[in-house]
Amino acid sequence: MSKKKRDIPILDLPIIETHFHLDMLKSMTRDEIVEKTRLHHIEKMITISTNPNNLDEVIAIAEKYPEIYCTQGLHPHEGKEWNDDVRAHVLKNLNDISKNKKIVAVGEIGLDFYYSKSPRDEQLKAFEEQLQIAVDHNLPVVIHSRDADEDTIAILKNFSTTLKRKGVIHSFTSGLELAHFALCENFYLGFNGIITFKNAENVRDALKITPLEKILLETDSPFLTPDPYRGFENAPYYLPFVAEKIAEVKEVELETILKHAYRNSLDLFKF
Protein backbone atom coordinates (compact mmCIF):
# COMPACT_ATOMS: atom_id res chain seq x y z
CA MET A 1 0.00 0.00 0.00
CA SER A 2 1.46 3.34 -0.98
CA LYS A 3 1.35 6.14 1.53
CA LYS A 4 -0.78 9.19 0.79
CA LYS A 5 1.01 11.91 -1.09
CA ARG A 6 1.21 15.44 0.25
CA ASP A 7 -1.50 17.62 -1.30
CA ILE A 8 -0.38 20.23 -3.79
CA PRO A 9 0.11 23.44 -1.82
CA ILE A 10 -2.04 26.43 -2.78
CA LEU A 11 0.33 29.38 -2.71
CA ASP A 12 -0.70 33.00 -2.11
CA LEU A 13 1.35 34.50 -4.91
CA PRO A 14 0.70 34.09 -8.64
CA ILE A 15 2.92 31.76 -10.68
CA ILE A 16 3.76 31.76 -14.38
CA GLU A 17 4.32 28.42 -16.12
CA THR A 18 6.98 29.26 -18.71
CA HIS A 19 7.20 25.89 -20.47
CA PHE A 20 4.72 23.07 -20.96
CA HIS A 21 2.98 21.17 -23.75
CA LEU A 22 -0.78 21.22 -23.25
CA ASP A 23 -1.37 19.35 -26.51
CA MET A 24 0.58 16.37 -25.11
CA LEU A 25 -1.21 16.10 -21.74
CA LYS A 26 -3.56 13.13 -21.66
CA SER A 27 -4.55 12.51 -18.02
CA MET A 28 -7.59 14.80 -18.18
CA THR A 29 -9.33 16.97 -20.76
CA ARG A 30 -7.72 20.32 -21.55
CA ASP A 31 -10.61 22.15 -19.88
CA GLU A 32 -10.11 20.09 -16.71
CA ILE A 33 -6.36 20.70 -16.66
CA VAL A 34 -6.83 24.46 -17.13
CA GLU A 35 -9.55 24.53 -14.45
CA LYS A 36 -7.37 22.70 -11.91
CA THR A 37 -4.41 24.93 -12.80
CA ARG A 38 -6.50 28.04 -12.07
CA LEU A 39 -7.26 26.72 -8.59
CA HIS A 40 -3.52 26.63 -7.93
CA HIS A 41 -2.93 30.29 -8.83
CA ILE A 42 -1.06 29.62 -12.03
CA GLU A 43 -1.76 32.96 -13.63
CA LYS A 44 -0.25 32.50 -17.07
CA MET A 45 1.12 29.54 -19.04
CA ILE A 46 3.14 29.14 -22.22
CA THR A 47 2.37 26.05 -24.29
CA ILE A 48 5.38 25.28 -26.47
CA SER A 49 5.37 24.10 -30.07
CA THR A 50 7.79 21.38 -31.11
CA ASN A 51 6.98 20.09 -34.59
CA PRO A 52 5.32 21.05 -37.89
CA ASN A 53 2.04 19.47 -36.79
CA ASN A 54 1.47 21.51 -33.65
CA LEU A 55 2.44 24.99 -34.88
CA ASP A 56 -1.25 25.79 -35.49
CA GLU A 57 -2.48 23.70 -32.57
CA VAL A 58 -0.67 25.75 -29.91
CA ILE A 59 -2.11 28.94 -31.43
CA ALA A 60 -5.62 27.46 -31.28
CA ILE A 61 -5.05 26.54 -27.62
CA ALA A 62 -3.82 30.06 -26.81
CA GLU A 63 -6.84 31.55 -28.56
CA LYS A 64 -9.20 29.40 -26.50
CA TYR A 65 -7.82 30.04 -23.00
CA PRO A 66 -7.15 33.64 -21.89
CA GLU A 67 -4.21 32.74 -19.64
CA ILE A 68 -2.39 30.58 -22.19
CA TYR A 69 0.27 31.93 -24.55
CA CYS A 70 2.33 30.02 -27.11
CA THR A 71 5.53 29.83 -29.14
CA GLN A 72 6.48 28.89 -32.69
CA GLY A 73 9.41 26.64 -33.41
CA LEU A 74 10.82 23.18 -34.09
CA HIS A 75 12.44 21.10 -31.35
CA PRO A 76 15.95 19.80 -32.14
CA HIS A 77 14.51 16.26 -32.41
CA GLU A 78 12.58 17.61 -35.41
CA GLY A 79 15.62 19.25 -37.05
CA LYS A 80 15.25 16.94 -40.05
CA GLU A 81 11.74 18.34 -40.63
CA TRP A 82 13.02 21.91 -41.01
CA ASN A 83 12.63 23.02 -44.63
CA ASP A 84 11.36 25.93 -46.73
CA ASP A 85 7.70 24.96 -46.28
CA VAL A 86 7.98 24.77 -42.49
CA ARG A 87 9.90 28.06 -42.37
CA ALA A 88 7.15 29.66 -44.49
CA HIS A 89 4.51 28.22 -42.13
CA VAL A 90 6.26 29.68 -39.05
CA LEU A 91 6.71 33.05 -40.75
CA LYS A 92 3.08 33.13 -41.89
CA ASN A 93 1.89 32.56 -38.31
CA LEU A 94 4.30 35.13 -36.87
CA ASN A 95 3.23 37.76 -39.43
CA ASP A 96 -0.53 37.13 -39.25
CA ILE A 97 -2.02 39.69 -36.87
CA SER A 98 -5.07 37.52 -36.32
CA LYS A 99 -2.82 34.68 -35.09
CA ASN A 100 0.25 36.27 -33.55
CA LYS A 101 -1.27 38.14 -30.60
CA LYS A 102 -0.34 35.44 -28.11
CA ILE A 103 2.93 34.22 -29.62
CA VAL A 104 5.56 35.26 -27.05
CA ALA A 105 8.73 33.50 -28.26
CA VAL A 106 10.45 31.36 -30.88
CA GLY A 107 10.91 27.84 -29.51
CA GLU A 108 11.60 25.36 -28.53
CA ILE A 109 14.71 25.32 -30.63
CA GLY A 110 18.24 24.11 -29.99
CA LEU A 111 20.46 21.04 -30.05
CA ASP A 112 20.05 17.55 -28.61
CA PHE A 113 23.06 15.29 -29.17
CA TYR A 114 21.95 12.93 -26.39
CA TYR A 115 19.11 11.37 -28.36
CA SER A 116 20.34 12.65 -31.77
CA LYS A 117 16.92 12.01 -33.31
CA SER A 118 17.93 14.29 -36.18
CA PRO A 119 21.39 14.46 -37.80
CA ARG A 120 23.67 17.10 -36.27
CA ASP A 121 24.03 19.21 -39.38
CA GLU A 122 20.25 19.43 -39.73
CA GLN A 123 19.87 20.37 -36.05
CA LEU A 124 22.51 23.08 -36.41
CA LYS A 125 20.85 24.51 -39.51
CA ALA A 126 17.36 24.53 -37.95
CA PHE A 127 18.71 26.15 -34.76
CA GLU A 128 20.57 28.93 -36.59
CA GLU A 129 17.76 29.71 -38.97
CA GLN A 130 15.20 29.87 -36.16
CA LEU A 131 17.48 32.13 -34.11
CA GLN A 132 17.54 34.45 -37.12
CA ILE A 133 13.72 34.40 -37.20
CA ALA A 134 13.72 35.50 -33.55
CA VAL A 135 16.13 38.31 -34.44
CA ASP A 136 13.98 39.42 -37.39
CA HIS A 137 10.78 39.43 -35.27
CA ASN A 138 12.39 40.81 -32.12
CA LEU A 139 11.23 37.83 -30.06
CA PRO A 140 13.00 35.95 -27.28
CA VAL A 141 13.96 32.29 -27.77
CA VAL A 142 13.22 29.14 -25.78
CA ILE A 143 16.28 26.91 -26.06
CA HIS A 144 16.64 23.17 -25.51
CA SER A 145 20.28 22.04 -25.16
CA ARG A 146 21.28 18.52 -24.23
CA ASP A 147 24.81 17.11 -24.50
CA ALA A 148 25.57 19.97 -26.87
CA ASP A 149 27.05 22.67 -24.64
CA GLU A 150 29.99 23.48 -26.90
CA ASP A 151 27.92 23.95 -30.06
CA THR A 152 25.16 25.81 -28.21
CA ILE A 153 27.73 28.28 -26.90
CA ALA A 154 29.41 28.65 -30.31
CA ILE A 155 26.12 29.39 -32.07
CA LEU A 156 24.77 31.75 -29.43
CA LYS A 157 28.04 33.68 -29.56
CA ASN A 158 27.29 34.44 -33.22
CA PHE A 159 23.95 35.95 -32.18
CA SER A 160 25.30 37.81 -29.17
CA THR A 161 24.70 41.29 -30.55
CA THR A 162 21.74 40.66 -32.87
CA LEU A 163 19.46 38.63 -30.59
CA LYS A 164 18.28 41.56 -28.48
CA ARG A 165 15.63 39.96 -26.26
CA LYS A 166 17.73 36.87 -25.49
CA GLY A 167 15.65 34.04 -24.00
CA VAL A 168 15.77 31.05 -21.71
CA ILE A 169 17.81 27.86 -21.63
CA HIS A 170 14.88 25.73 -20.56
CA SER A 171 15.02 22.55 -18.45
CA PHE A 172 18.58 23.43 -17.58
CA THR A 173 20.69 20.26 -17.23
CA SER A 174 23.91 21.43 -18.87
CA GLY A 175 27.33 22.04 -17.39
CA LEU A 176 28.43 25.08 -15.43
CA GLU A 177 30.29 26.46 -18.45
CA LEU A 178 27.05 26.86 -20.41
CA ALA A 179 25.37 28.23 -17.27
CA HIS A 180 28.07 30.89 -16.86
CA PHE A 181 28.03 31.75 -20.55
CA ALA A 182 24.23 32.03 -20.69
CA LEU A 183 24.06 34.18 -17.56
CA CYS A 184 26.81 36.49 -18.85
CA GLU A 185 24.84 36.83 -22.08
CA ASN A 186 21.73 37.78 -20.09
CA PHE A 187 19.77 34.59 -20.71
CA TYR A 188 17.45 33.13 -18.10
CA LEU A 189 17.69 29.51 -16.93
CA GLY A 190 14.50 27.45 -16.61
CA PHE A 191 14.21 24.91 -13.79
CA ASN A 192 11.60 22.17 -13.40
CA GLY A 193 10.89 18.92 -11.54
CA ILE A 194 14.37 17.61 -12.29
CA ILE A 195 15.69 19.61 -9.32
CA THR A 196 13.64 17.36 -7.01
CA PHE A 197 15.29 14.20 -8.37
CA LYS A 198 17.93 12.53 -6.19
CA ASN A 199 20.54 12.19 -8.94
CA ALA A 200 20.27 15.81 -10.18
CA GLU A 201 23.08 17.29 -8.09
CA ASN A 202 24.55 18.91 -11.21
CA VAL A 203 21.29 20.76 -11.87
CA ARG A 204 21.14 21.97 -8.28
CA ASP A 205 24.75 23.18 -8.67
CA ALA A 206 23.71 25.22 -11.71
CA LEU A 207 20.75 26.59 -9.76
CA LYS A 208 23.08 27.65 -6.94
CA ILE A 209 25.07 29.92 -9.26
CA THR A 210 21.97 31.36 -10.95
CA PRO A 211 20.98 34.77 -9.55
CA LEU A 212 17.35 35.11 -8.43
CA GLU A 213 16.93 37.63 -11.25
CA LYS A 214 17.58 34.90 -13.83
CA ILE A 215 15.41 32.00 -12.62
CA LEU A 216 12.26 30.88 -14.44
CA LEU A 217 9.79 28.26 -13.27
CA GLU A 218 8.52 25.56 -15.63
CA THR A 219 7.22 22.00 -15.56
CA ASP A 220 7.94 20.84 -19.14
CA SER A 221 4.79 18.77 -18.57
CA PRO A 222 3.74 16.12 -19.44
CA PHE A 223 7.37 15.13 -18.74
CA LEU A 224 9.55 15.38 -15.59
CA THR A 225 6.93 15.24 -12.84
CA PRO A 226 8.42 16.53 -9.56
CA ASP A 227 8.56 14.61 -6.33
CA PRO A 228 6.32 13.53 -4.65
CA TYR A 229 4.17 12.87 -7.73
CA ARG A 230 6.67 10.98 -9.90
CA GLY A 231 4.83 8.31 -11.86
CA PHE A 232 1.85 10.61 -12.48
CA GLU A 233 1.53 12.71 -15.62
CA ASN A 234 3.05 16.12 -15.00
CA ALA A 235 0.96 19.31 -15.23
CA PRO A 236 1.40 23.02 -14.41
CA TYR A 237 -0.42 22.66 -11.08
CA TYR A 238 2.65 20.84 -9.72
CA LEU A 239 4.72 24.04 -10.01
CA PRO A 240 4.52 24.74 -6.24
CA PHE A 241 6.78 21.70 -5.66
CA VAL A 242 9.34 23.09 -8.10
CA ALA A 243 9.23 26.51 -6.44
CA GLU A 244 9.59 24.99 -2.97
CA LYS A 245 12.66 23.00 -3.99
CA ILE A 246 14.27 26.05 -5.63
CA ALA A 247 13.73 28.02 -2.40
CA GLU A 248 15.33 25.19 -0.41
CA VAL A 249 18.39 24.97 -2.70
CA LYS A 250 18.80 28.76 -2.82
CA GLU A 251 18.23 29.01 0.95
CA VAL A 252 15.67 31.77 0.63
CA GLU A 253 11.97 32.16 1.47
CA LEU A 254 9.50 30.61 -0.95
CA GLU A 255 7.91 34.03 -1.35
CA THR A 256 11.24 35.45 -2.59
CA ILE A 257 11.45 32.82 -5.34
CA LEU A 258 7.85 33.33 -6.39
CA LYS A 259 8.22 37.12 -6.62
CA HIS A 260 11.43 36.95 -8.64
CA ALA A 261 10.27 34.20 -11.00
CA TYR A 262 7.03 36.07 -11.63
CA ARG A 263 8.85 39.33 -12.38
CA ASN A 264 11.45 37.54 -14.55
CA SER A 265 8.74 35.86 -16.63
CA LEU A 266 7.02 39.19 -17.29
CA ASP A 267 10.32 40.86 -18.17
CA LEU A 268 11.29 38.17 -20.67
CA PHE A 269 8.02 37.35 -22.39
CA LYS A 270 6.20 40.73 -22.21
CA PHE A 271 2.76 39.06 -22.32
Minimum distance between the CB of residue 143 and Zn ion, rounded to whole angstroms?
11
Reference 48, options 33, 64, 61, 31; nearest CA is 61
Residue nearer to Zn ion on the CB measure, 215 or 254: 215
DSSP assignment string, 177-207: HHHHHHHHTT-EEEE-GGGGSTT-HHHHHHH
Minimum separation from the CB atom of position 58 to Zn ion (A): 12
Binding mask 46-65 for Zn ion (x = CB under 5 A): --------------------
CB closer to Zn ion out of 23 and 220: 220
In the bound complex, what is the minimum distance in angstroms from residue 221's beta carbon to Zn ion? 9
Asked if 220 interacts with Zn ion (CB under 5 A), we say yes
> Which span (5-13, 85-93, 187-195, 213-221) binds Zn ion, by CB under 5 A?
213-221
User: Closest separation between CB of residue 205 and Zn ion, Å?
Assistant: 22
State the Cα–Cα distance between residues 121 and 209, nearest whole angstrom. 32
The full DSSP string for 19-31 is EE-GGG--SS-HH
Comparing CB distances to Zn ion, the nearer of 149 and 220 is 220
Give the other-Cβ count within 10 Å of 249's Cβ: 18
Rounded to the nearest whole angstrom, what is the least distance from the CB of residue 218 to Zn ion in the complex?
A: 8
CA gap 170, 194 in Å, rounded: 12
**Total residues interacting with Zn ion, rule: CB under 5 A:** 1
Binding region for Zn ion (CB under 5 A) out of 22-30, 33-41, 202-210, 220-228 = 220-228
Alpha helices in the chain (DSSP H): 30-39, 55-64, 84-95, 120-136, 149-158, 176-184, 201-209, 239-250, 254-269
Q: Which stretch binds Zn ion (CB under 5 A): 62-70, 130-138, 212-220, 252-260?
A: 212-220
The C-alpha atoms of residue 252 and residue 204 are separated, in whole angstroms, by 14
Contacting residues toward Zn ion, per CB under 5 A: 220
